[in-house]
Each structure stands twice: as C-alpha cells, then as structure tokens.
C-alpha cells in the first residue's frame, strides 16, 4: 500500500498494490498495522456502512462531535466517486479548506478521514457502491451536517461531474446550515479537541 497525505492534516489517500492474473485482480483494502505504523494511531472498526448511489447523488458534508468523533476509511467497490474531505476544525491552518480524490472500482483507492474532519462525496456513475469503515457507531445525537453547496466552502462539484449531471441531495443535507452558521452555533470541532485521534 502507498499512503499519500492530503494537504489537510489527518486525511490520506491509500493506493493499494494490485495483483493481476488470469482469474482477475486481488488487492488489500484495509490493513490495521499500516494505520498504526504510518498514522501513529489505532483505528478500531466499530461499524461498517454501505451506500448505493445513482450518478449525481451528493452525500454529506457529515461529521460527528469530538470527542470521540467518527473516523472513516472510505472505499468504492463499484462505480466511482469524487470523495471530499473538509477541514472543520477551529484553529486549524486549513480550516474551511477542502480536498478531493476520485475513488473507483478501477483505481481501488481508499480515503482515510480522521475525527473532526467533514466528509462528502459525489457519485459519478449509477449504482456506485461505497463502503465506510467507522471508528464509532452512528449516533444521531452527535452527527452534524453542513450544506454541501455552501458558497463559502465552494466545493466544485460541477467541475468534476459529467456535463448535464443533475445533482440529487437529501432534504437533510440541503437544509443544513452553512459553515459560517455552524461556526456561530458553536458546534464545530476544535483542533485541540481532535488531536487525540491523529
């Protein structure tokens, strides 16, 4: 595996070593020892989620209150996504910044997203299957959402989507607060509060 740090501290793209033969392809999706050795932390998987999305579906921006937060290890086993990580940690040098990478069946990449960072994705194909390994179970009381179309964040979904793509966003995500309003609400994570997990 190759672990490529993003410009946002606490997020990495993982590129597996793929093995091909007459039967097809094999690769390791997740390896706990790689997380420990390279990220200097444990990542205990307490819940596994899977979504199936049509082209144009945007999910997120989601995160959970820290501590404990919810770290995610995201993979795409069918179709493709544009996977987005957003730094929501007050006090971070990259607060309000985002970065993205394409995860697909073909490239077999994964993304590791530490606690305190926001996560969203755009499905680029129909029947796109995304699996999330999560460090904490889902808790509706601590899950938070920011509108993925927030003008302050200006995530360029249109720049990556195929021409003519119609976005589909849940009412919950579309009706969520902006980054600025979420900051005023006092519900954003702090860098100091999330360092325990990095």
Which of 19, 27, 132, 138 is labelled catalytic? 132
Q: Rounded to whole angstroms, what are the CA distances from 170 to 51, 62, 72, 148?
A: 13, 12, 21, 11
Residue 193 has pLDDT above 90, yes or no: no
**pLDDT confidence of residue 154:** 98
φ/ψ region of 7 (left if φ > 0, alpha if ψ in -120 to 50, else beta) reads alpha
> Which positions ≥6 away from 152 have C-beta within 8 Å?
96, 178, 179, 180
Residue 71, token pair as written in the block: 């770290």
Residues 83-140 have pLDDT tens digits of 999 999 999 999 999 999 999 999 999 999 999 999 999 999 999 999 999 999 999 9
Per residue in 36-93, pLDDT tens? 898 888 899 999 999 999 999 999 999 999 999 999 999 999 999 999 999 999 999 9
Which residues are CB-neighbours of 27 under 8 A, at least 6 positions away? Answer: 16, 17, 18, 19, 108
Cα angle 5, 89, 31 (rounded to 5 degrees) comes to 35
According to the model, what pLDDT value does residue 42 have?
87
Asked whether the whole model's pTM tops 0.85, one would answer yes
Q: What is the pLDDT of residue 103?
A: 98
Looking at residue 198, its pLDDT comes to 42
Catalytic residue among 19, 27, 62, 119: 62
Known catalytic membership, residue 73: no
DSSP 16: P
Catalytic residue list contains 138: no
- pLDDT value at position 39? 85
pLDDT band at 195 (very low <50, low <70, confident <90, very high): very low
Average pLDDT for the chain: 94
d(CA 188, CA 171): 21
């Amino acid at each position: 595996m190759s672990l490529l740090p993003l410009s946002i501290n606490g997020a990495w793209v993982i590129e597996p070593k793929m093995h091909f033969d007459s039967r097809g392809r094999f690769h390791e999706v997740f390896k706990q020892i790689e997380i420990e050795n390279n990220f200097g932390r444990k990542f205990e998987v307490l819940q596994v989620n899977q979504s199936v999305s049509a082209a144009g579906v945007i999910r997120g921006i989601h995160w959970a209150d820290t501590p404990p937060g919810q770290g995610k290890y995201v993979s795409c086993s069918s179709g493709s996504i544009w996977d987005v990580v957003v730094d929501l940690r007050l006090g971070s040098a990259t607060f309000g910044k985002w970065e993205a990478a394409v995860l697909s069946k073909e490239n077999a990449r994964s993304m590791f997203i530490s606690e305190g960072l926001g996560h969203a994705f755009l499905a680029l194909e129909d029947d796109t299957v995304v699996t999330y390994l999560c460090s904490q179970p889902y808790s509706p009381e601590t899950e938070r959402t920011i509108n993925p179309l927030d003008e302050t964040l200006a995530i360029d979904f249109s720049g990556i989507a195929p021409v003519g793509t119609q976005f589909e966003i849940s009412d919950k995500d579309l009706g969520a607060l902006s980054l600025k309003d979420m900051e005023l609400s006092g519900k954003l994570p702090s860098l100091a509060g999330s360092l325990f997990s990095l």
